[in-house]
Every structure is written in C-alpha cells, then in structure tokens.
Structure 1
Amino acid sequence: MPQESSWMAGTSPAMTLRRFNAFSPESPPQLLRIVIEALLVRSFRAPRPHRDDLRERMVRFLGPTRFECAASAADTFCDHEGLSMSEPSADVSATVEYTMDKWRMDRLPWAMWACVAGLAIAIHAESRGQNGAALAAVYLALLGLAFAGYALTTLIGRSGLPLLLELLIGVLVLIIVSGVIGVISVLVGGPSGRSSYVGAMRSLYWSHLVNPSLNVFGWMLLYLGFGWIVFSAYRHLYADRAVVSMSATGIRFHRPWLKGLFIPWREVRGVGHLVVPGISGVPFVSPYAAAVTVGQDFYEQHIAPKRSFFAPPGAEAMFQPKGEMMQVVLNSADMTVKPEDFLGPAEARWKAFRDQPKPSSHDGGAIVYGRWSIDGSPWQAVRFFAPLIGMIVVMLYR
C-alpha cells in the first residue's frame, strides 16, 4: 500500500477535493500520480461511510468524466501493486460466505436472561402441587402446534386460491389442530374433574392445564432459553451452509424456501443499492439493502419457479422490479452484515467474471461474513457475564 506523501499529510477531505479539482487527466505524470495516491489513501484509510461521502463529493467537484479517469488510473495502479479497491486483502477467486452465526449468537445473552428469569420463577413461585416441568413441556407442545396451524393458514391465504376453497381448507386445519390439542389434553390430564388421575401422567390434573401456576411459566422460560443456547452454540461450533455465497461462478442462495437458486455473473446486469419507487414517483435508493439486477427473462425462467409455497411473510421483498429487470436483494435482517460488505465483493467478482463463459474453478479459500467471534470488548464481556452472575445470585438466594 502506498504511503501518504507529505503533500497529503494532515489534509482534510475538503482540501483533498480542492487539490483534486486543480488537476486534470492531462496533467503531468507526477501530478497524476499524486491524484492516484490521494484516491488510494482515502479509499483505504477512511471508514466506509466517509469513503462513500468522499466519492460523491469527488464526483460533484471533479465531474463524472474526470473522476472516472482518476478512478481508472487508480485501478490500474492497484493492479500493478497487487491491490484491490473493493477488497484490499482478498483475491476475487476466493469464495465469500454470509452466515447467520452472529445474528444467533447476539441473541444468546437474551436467552441466558430468560433462563435466569425462569429459574427465579421456578424456584420461588408457588407450585400448588403441580408438576411444573411436565406441564411446561405440554404447554410448549400445544403452543407449537397452534403456531403451526396459524402459519399454515397464513401460507394458504397467500397462495392465491379461490376464497371458498381457502375458507374450507382453513376450517379443516382449525378442526384438525383443535382435535389434536384436545387429544393431547385428555391423554395428559384426564377427561374431567379436579380429582381425575386418568391420563398418561397421573400427577397432572385436567384443572392444572386450564389453571396453571406461575411455576409453569418459569419452566417454559427455562426450556426456551436453554433450547436457544444449545442450538446457537451447536451451530456456532458446527456451522451450517452459508445463507448466501459468492464464488467465481456466481451467487448461490441457501434458504429452506429458496433451494438451489444460482445466479451466474454473466446474467447480472448491475450491482448496487436497492432502488424502489418513491411516493412522489422519483426512485428512492435504499442505503440499507444491497441488490443485484438480473433480466426479467432470467428471473421468470430460473428464479420464480424456485420460490416455495413455504416462503415466510415478507419474503416477496427480496425481489423488486426495476423497469424491465428484476432486483434480487442479497442482505436480510437475519444476517448481521452491512450492505457494503455485500456490494464490495459482489461488484469485484461481477466485473472480474461477467465476460468469462466458464470462470476458472481455482479455489482461493473462503472469506466469511456474519461469523461471531470474541472481540475482547468490555460490552461483550458484560453481556455474557451479567446473566451468569444473575443466575448465581438466584441460586444463592433460593
């Protein structure tokens, strides 16, 4: 990486822009070299939001033509020095993967606090002779079944079926779910009466199911919190497939409701922030969403058929029309990754491989975004140690 020259030392972005504006692409090589060096230094050392702001002001001050000349010269200089403007330390042959690991692990402290609250309730709340652990398991099973029925009826409502058929299917689902819940309740708590011991778990009454003690909800919090902790820790140690991956051949999506979606770089028409229609009709560029643009024919032939019936609510926002083309959004709320971390690698690989019918399969390693790690910050330590201390306090004052 070139070192900052004395000409650049201590200058502000505004001063840099004024000096950029003083030179033209036809300037002597030494001055052009200074322009390139300033562009490189600012691109590498400034935080990304400042880089984007600097780029916009450079275009405004220099004009699009002169800026593109300077940027092109900078790219040439980068190639000569073995650098990359988009990914300073990465080869475009490397596969870039985006995971949900950080999103899951960031919620692990909340699960730990749920365990603390559940433990406090389970220990100190009155049980009224009820088996709180068993009742909590039954309640979670019933709630899961009810949620499954709700999700199924929601999916049916979005399927576009005729209203009468949709109503009949919804009633059928309601009857089945209600029947299963009734059967489970009878098997567990007996058919009726406070004194009934009929059921698979003779320590439970029917009245306990309809009038549970607070102790039961403490056990439910324990089950939910501990379950999330185990699941997140397992997925952190044994990572699942990346949600999105970019290689020399193209972009792959690995979602349960969008399996096998692959977009070759030659089918990509553009890379940038998502563009949506504004209220006044003027297109609005969303700074929170990164997207690639593909042709409408490619979307209808290769993407639309893969969209599953089981897509969750809001999944349609992943595909947004842009004139006669379609935008495919890369980032989502379940990946703690900034849009810029999608745009940089995507643009670099698109420019490198879009004109290659069969890109090289050379393995350049893997770069992973969204992977949780211990950063050593005090805040991270507080988030994880505070619930542990809370659990110790609850155990000591039982």
Structure 2
Amino acid sequence: MNVSGLDPDQTLEYRPATTIVRLLPTGLLLIFLGLLILALVVDRDREPVWTYLGVGLCLTLGAGLSGFTLWRRWHHGKPVFTLSPDGIHYRIPFVKQVLIPWHEIQGVDTVDIEAGYWSILWSTESLRYNTFILRHVTVILLPQRFYQQHLHISSLLLRGPAWKANFIPKGDLVQMALHHEYVSVEPRALREAVEARWRAFREKPAAPMARTSVPSTMNPSAAKTAVSHPAPTSGVIAMGEDPKSMSWWEATKVIALLIGIAIVSANLAGLWQASAPTPESDARAQARTHQKAWQESIKKSREDSKRLEAEDKERRRQLDEDMRRAFGR
C-alpha cells in the first residue's frame, strides 16, 4: 500500500469530518459565555431584553455546534472530493456531484486565495467585509465551457458564501480550489496526489466508473500528513487525520471549558456565590424589594379605584332607574 497517495491507481477520498470535530471547543466556549453573561446579570428585572436574546443565541448555537461535532466524530459523512483513475468526483453539498475527467483539466497549480466574510462593526452599527488569505491551496485549471456546463450554479443561495474561494476565474479558465485545511491534509501531499493522477490519466478518455462503497474508518495520524487507511472491501482510501483523535492541547481546552461550564452552572443553581453579601448588595436588594412592593401597591390602588368607580356607576344607574319608576307611576 502506498500511503503517500502517489500510486495513481488508488482511489482517495477526502472528508471534512476532522475539521468539523475540531470545532467542539468553539461550541463549548459559546455555552460558557452564555452562562457567564447570565451569571453576571445583577438586576434581572432591569436588564434589557437584548441581554437575554444574546444569552439564548449563545446557548443555542453552542449546544447545536457541540452536538453536531460529537455526532460527526462517529459519522464521518460523505467526501468533499474523490481522486480516482477516472477523474475528480467533486460534491457540492445539497446540490450535485460532478465527475471532472482528467483530460478536461488543463493544469495543476498551488496558489494563495483571498477569501472574506461579512461582520457587524458595533461601534458604527455598519457591515464590514473582512478578508484573509488561504495559503498554498491546490487548484486545478478547468475550461470555462466545462465550468459553465457542469459546475456553475445560478442560485446565490445554493452557491453559499464560499463560492468565490472555490472557483476563481483566470482568463479563459477557472481555478477550482481543493482546500487542504478543510480536509485536514498537508498541501504538498494533496497537490502531489492530484498531479500524479493527472499526469497518468490526462491522455486517456474518461470511462464510466461504478460507485465504490464509502470506508467507515480512518487511520489516526499525529501530524497533518496524508495518512490513509484502505477500506477492506472497496479499495477506497480515506485520507486525512482521524476525527476520533485528539491532541493534548485540544483535550485541555475541552476539559477547561467543561469545568468552567460546571462552575458557572453551579453558581446559577445557587450552590455557591462568588462573594459574601456586602452592605451595598443588601441595600440594592432592599431597594428592589421596596420598589416591587411600591409597584404592587400602586397596582392594587388602581384596581381598587376602578372597582369603586364601577360600583359608583352601578349605584347611579340603579338610582336613575328607581327615579324613573317612581315618577312613571
């Protein structure tokens, strides 16, 4: 077995499972921040509604992200792209899967790609576009004709926000990016695997290929190298790091965040307090109690006033009716 991926007869599959699993600390951090904000609220009666909306958003996103990463740890999902002797099977999530024959590819290159995202600048309450650079990305060069016929999607919604970072026009060609970081492999190893198959099969016409089954396990790797494990029945090799593996640093972050979540949750449950009550906090508590009693007193007075007014109105109506009856006789 050639674990380097340079044997062109091997079929290699690349999944984003490991990258998704590595987002577990981010999900736990959102949960921790939501609980911390809630614990720091001093006067819950006067806190603006936006605070609770932010807390709910943090907890919802954090719980959803954490649950999804844990699920993806065991269910690796479909590959983003597959390198086979027939070409590159490229999957656009929720839309389609396209076979790119090797003879359609005009070249293989490594480039730096500028990507970006929109964010809200709270100081001015305006949208801002932030850019960053993706380094050493492997790209294949495709004719505009092939791109328009097989890969282009007219709907902006189905394209998604990363479309321009995946398909970059270059004159009469289109650079299609194969992002190594997304599938947790080394950039050089990915380029060599692509280039080895392109050089071996670019002169051959594409032949129909029966879909092979998906391997269920990946071989663990300590470094970000293209380490592979062959599926026992299909011969397909899953490339990249094992989603079930975890470095000491990642484990430390997860454990620290879980401890923080437990501590803040215990505080919210009333099992402990950050400090003993101070005269100032007692004064604030008494002031809140008096204010609540005053508000209840005002409410009760208004209700009594309405009740008395209704009773007086009823008495006047009854008196008018009695007078009409007396004079009517």
1:107 matched residue in structure 2: 23
Name the CA shift for 1:309/1:114 in 2 (closer, same or farther; >3 Å). Answer: closer
Letter in 2 for 1:288: H
Asked if residue 232 in structure 1 is aligned to residue 103 in structure 2, the reply is no
Q: Counterpart in 1 of 2:188?
A: 340
Amino acid corresponding to residue 258 of structure 2 in structure 1: L
Instruction: Structure 1: state its 5+ residue gaps.
Output: 1-82, 131-207, 277-285
Instruction: Report the Cα offset of residue 228 of structure 1.
Output: 0.7
Is 2:132 aligned against 1:295?
A: no
Distance verdict in 2 for CA 1:230–1:273, change over 3 Å: same
- Indicate the SS of the match to 1:241: coil
Please give the per-residue CA displacement for 1:155-206, whole angstroms capped at 9, x wherever unaligned. Answer: xxxxxxxxxxxxxxxxxxxxxxxxxxxxxxxxxxxxxxxxxxxxxxxxxxxx
List per-residue Cα deviations over 1:286-331 (Å, max 9, x = no partner): 9522111223433333333x45432234513433344543322121
* Deviation (angstroms), 1:343: 0.8
Q: What residue is the counterpart of 2:107 in the other structure?
A: 270
Change in 2 beyond 3 A, CA 1:326/1:218: closer
Correspondence for 1:327 = 175
The aligned runs of 1:173-252 (5 Å cut-off) are: 211-212=48-49, 214-252=51-89
Measured in 1, the distance between the counterparts of 2:177 and 2:15 equals: 15
Partner residue in 1 for 2:258: 388
Aligned to 2:244: 373
Question: How many angstroms does 1:120 deviate by?
Answer: 2.9
- The match for 1:261 is 98
- Structure 1's 248 and 359: CA in aligned 2 closer, same or farther, altered over 3 A? farther
Q: How does 1:304-319 map to 2 (within 5 A)?
A: 304=152, 306=153, 308-310=155-157, 311-319=159-167
- TM-score for both structures, normalised by structure 1: 0.48
Question: Structure 1 pair 360/113, CA: closer, same or farther in 2 (3 Å)?
Answer: closer
Report if the CA contact (8 A) 1:257-1:309 is conserved.
no
Using the TM superposition, give the Cα deviation of residue 267 of structure 1 relative to its aligned residue in structure 2, in angstroms.
1.3
Distance 1:239 1:337 in 2: 16
Contact 1:108 1:229 in 2 (8 A): yes
Amino acid at match of 1:381: A
- The Cα shift of 1:116 comes to 1.7
Deviates more, 1:258-267 or 1:307-316: 307-316
Structure 1 CA distance for aligned equivalents of residues 257 and 242 of structure 2: 23
Distance (whole Å) between structure 1 residues aligned to residue 53 and residue 148 of structure 2 = 51
Alpha-carbon distance between aligned partners in 2 of 1:275 and 1:117, rounded to the nearest angstrom: 35
Correspondence for 2:303: none
Find the aligned partners of 1:88 and 1:338 in 2 and give their Cα distance.
11
Aligned counterparts of 2:255 and 2:37: Cα–Cα separation in 1: 21
Higher strand share: 2
Partner of 2:295: none
Separation in 1 of the partners of 2:259 and 2:86? Answer: 49
Can you give the 5+ residue segments of structure 2 that lack an aligned partner in the other structure? 114-133, 213-233, 271-329
Amino-acid identity (%): 28
After superposition, the CA RMSD in angstroms is 3.3
Deviation at 1:238, TM superposition (A): 1.9
Select the structure that is richer in helix.
1
Secondary structure of 2:73's counterpart equals helix
CA contact (8 A) 2:81 2:89 kept: yes
Q: Quick one: which amino acid aligns to residue 217 of structure 1? A: G
TM-score, structure 2 normalization: 0.57
Q: Is the 8 A contact 2:13 2:236 kept in 1?
A: no
Q: Please identify, of 384-393 and 348-357, the stretch whose mean Cα deviation from structure 2 is larger.
A: 348-357
Shift in alpha-carbon separation, 1:296–1:90, aligned structure 2, 3 A: closer
Residue correspondences, number: 224
> Measured at CA, do residues 247 and 308 of structure 1 come closer, stay the same or move farther in structure 2, by a change above 3 Å?
farther
Tell me the secondary structure at the aligned position of residue 253 of structure 2.
helix
Amino acid at match of 1:387: L
Please tell me whether the aligned partners of residues 12 and 237 of structure 2 are also in contact (alpha carbons under 8 angstroms): yes
Name the SS for the 1:392 alignment partner: helix
TM superposition shift of 1:385: 0.9
Pick one of 176, 191, 197 that aligns with 1:349: 197
Letter in 2 for 1:369: G
2:49 alignment partner, SS class: coil
Moved over 6 A (4+): none
